A = this chain, B = another copy of it.
Amino acid sequence: MSAGSALIGVGVGPGDPELLTLRAARVIRDADVVLAPSSALDAVGRAESIVRQACPGVRIERLAFDMGDAAASIDAAAATVVAGLDAGRRLAFVTLGDPNVYSTFSSVAARVRELRPDARIETVPGIMAFQELASRSGTVVLQNAERLALVTALDGPDVLDAALTDPTQAVVVYKGGRHLPEMAKRLAAAGRLDGAVMGELLGLPGERVLPVAEAAEGPAAYLATVIVPPAG
């Protein structure tokens, strides 16, 4: 590896290209190669779409991520990264949201670290979906000494119950789109349905931002984000 080689996980926010930070835009422009995860090599992923708009003209290389075989996808991505590092390149790996919070980047970086223990690996923070949802919906997530629980509903809506026991705690639920009707029921039972909001495709075509009570009546995307503010 040359002295200048590096892998930099760059958070590009949830969708609106304007939510890139100045640092993210600079790191993307200065990179030798921009790597963007995609569900298939012939599909434009969300992160790639954001970079195309925010940094026109930047050359992007796709990394295919097959959710059905995550381990193999991570290995393949790490192999691409290692080849780039060995060639002395500065690689920007763009990722939705923040690279240190629920990001595939962490898994790829961990694998690269196994293969090249001396690799220089850095990250650039990015705006998370719940922050943009708070902004779009006019929701104050936390004030003064309240607490926040950030959870995923990957394993179902049960995560909500524990998080709802403390009424002074705000709750953010990621990846709960499939469980919205059940989540709405539990929020109503806990007296927390009022003020709860749901957002999907934030900053992208088809964006929806609406009360959970209303969103629960129809289907929502798997990646939907929900904010439950502290009890008033």
Contacts and interface: CB of A to CB of B under 8 A. Distances in A.
A158 B102 CA distance: 27
Contacts of A101: 131, 134, 141-142, 148
Interface in A16-51: 16-23, 25-26
Contacts of A122: 135, 138
Given A135-B122, A148-B150, A140 B100 contact: yes
Given A25-B22, A127-B21, A131-B125, A147 B150 contact: yes
Contacts of A102: 142-144
A214 to B, nearest CB: 21
Interface of A: 11, 13, 16-23, 25-26, 54, 98-103, 106-107, 109-110, 121-127, 131-132, 134-135, 138-145, 147-152, 154-155, 159
